[in-house]
Amino acid sequence: MSTWTIPITGAAEDGAFTQSVSLDNVTFILDFQWSDRAGFWYMDLLDANEDLIKAGIKIVVNQQLIWRISDARRPAGEIVAIDTRETDVIPAQDPGLGDLGTNIELIYMDSDEIS
């Protein structure tokens, strides 16, 4: 059973970036895009061969991001965005352009953790 942070660096510089990550010992590609019009980050999930598993996953704080994906290639666990600033006084906020990887972290919970 484990939970870990998916490292994200430099998100605000470009508003779009791609990174490889190992989740439950399987390599996935996460492709992130900032939408000025919507004011949200979106993520595409691809397998190691760069074949699309799911496009346009809206990054919303404190919600499971990939639970609705029925594709057998998806990670066995779950990805959740966490606002590290959240307190009793400051409510959680969805990530702005400069927040992803700083104030907002992506957490991966393996399949044992969410069962």
Structure tokens at 43: 């993520």
Question: When comparing pLDDT for 97 and 90, which is higher?
Answer: 97
Give the pLDDT score at 1: 58
Q: What is the pLDDT of residues 27-54, one digit of tens each?
A: 999 999 999 999 999 999 999 999 999 9
- Paired strand residues for 57: 43
| % pLDDT > 90, the chain | 73
Q: What is the pLDDT of residues 52-88, one digit of tens each?
A: 999 999 999 999 999 999 999 999 999 999 999 988 8
